[in-house]
Amino acid sequence: MISINKRRIIFDYIMITVGSFLIAVALNYFLVPNKIAAGGVSGLATVIYYLAGFPIGITMLVLNIPLFLAGLKVLGRSFGARTIYGIITLSLITDLLEPMAVNVTTDLLLASIYGGVLAGLGLGLVFKARGTTGGTDMIASLLNNYTGLSVGQGLMLADGIVVLLAGILFNLEVALYASITIFITSKTIDVVQEGLNIKKEALIISDKSRKINQRIINELNRGVTLFPAEGGYTGKKRDVLLCIISRSEVTTLKEMVAEIDQDAFVIISNIHEVLGEGFAEIN
């Protein structure tokens, strides 16, 4: 019988494979045919493809080899077997799909949007499986180590250089659409990583916190955590309530607090993921 750990590893590699397939579809059917070089190694491979005619997949593999070797030294085991698998799988699937590829649309806006969504879905699945397809994230990490730039700044710089190069070689309009693709890809990755089931975090400061606490527990059936706090100006001690609720419960909660204490201080913010009892399991 396969252990839970081995099942998780197998599932992760399946996720990396599916994610790589989606990225390859984005490249072959939307981005490359429209010369949209959306940053990173794939974007650079797109530029090289139009300059020299080299296959996209093989070019990505060749470009990733020195990055991976440098990454092993700097980043250690965090870029190991899953990275090798992700790099090779994406490169192979990209070139295998290329003969069957068709240009789904010549509309640059549609190509940048759908290419960005598919690439984001693919990368999100790969990242969720604790893998990577190499490229931009390795470049960003290496820049962080050698130059002190943050990973976010490194990503912007690496992608920006490729987009600028594409703008010079192709035209500025294509470069602008590539920027749209990069933005959509990053947002789609966030959706895959964090999910769409957004919850609300409510922080409530009130002199009548105990009454509010009981109403929330009894009427909303939600757990509440109380933190002892002290007013910075008044020095007055009171409890702060922390509660996680759904979007549909926000109005009910506000009305409930208003009925008990009109002077209560309520802060409500978005929470992208909640794990634990009463919500999603931690895994």
pLDDT digits (tens, 9 = 90+) for 206-223: 989 999 999 999 988 888
DSSP sequence for 189-227: HHHHHH-S--EEEEEEE-TTHHHHHHHIIIII----EEE
- pLDDT mean across residues, the chain: 85
pLDDT digits 0-9 by tens, 131-162 = 778 777 677 666 766 776 665 566 677 788 88
* Closest to 31 in 3D by CA, of 100, 61, 23, 160: 23
- Name every residue whose Cβ is closer than 8 Å to that of residue 273 and which is 6 or more positions away in sequence: 194, 195, 197, 280
- Residue with the larger pLDDT of the pair 17 and 247: 17
Tokens of 88: 């090779």
Confidence of residue 281 (pLDDT cuts 50, 70, 90): low
Q: What share of the chain is helix, strand, coil (3-state, %, to 5)?
A: 65, 10, 25
Question: Are the beta carbons of 272 and 279 closer than 8 angstroms?
Answer: no
Instruction: Report domain extents, the chain.
Output: 4-194, 199-271
Query: ∠ at Cα 183 (178, 187), nearest 5°?
Result: 145
Confidence of residue 33 (pLDDT cuts 50, 70, 90): very high
Checking if the pLDDT of 171 tops 90, the result is no
pLDDT digits 0-9 by tens, 219-274 = 888 889 898 888 888 888 888 999 998 888 888 899 999 999 998 999 999 887 67
pLDDT at residue number 203: 93
pLDDT digits 0-9 by tens, 106-130 = 999 999 999 999 998 998 888 888 7
pLDDT at residue number 77: 60
Neighbours of 280 (CB within 10 A): 11
pLDDT at residue number 118: 95
Checking if the pLDDT of 83 tops 90, the result is no
Question: Are the beta carbons of 41 and 144 closer than 8 angstroms?
Answer: no
Residues in the chain: 283
Percent of the chain with pLDDT over 90: 35
| Residue 78 identity | S
pLDDT at residue number 213: 92
Under CATH, which number does the domain 199-271 receive? 3.30.70.120
Q: Helix, strand or coil for residue 240?
A: strand
pLDDT digits 0-9 by tens, 62-76 = 998 887 887 776 656
Checking if the pLDDT of 194 tops 90, the result is no
pLDDT at residue number 1: 60
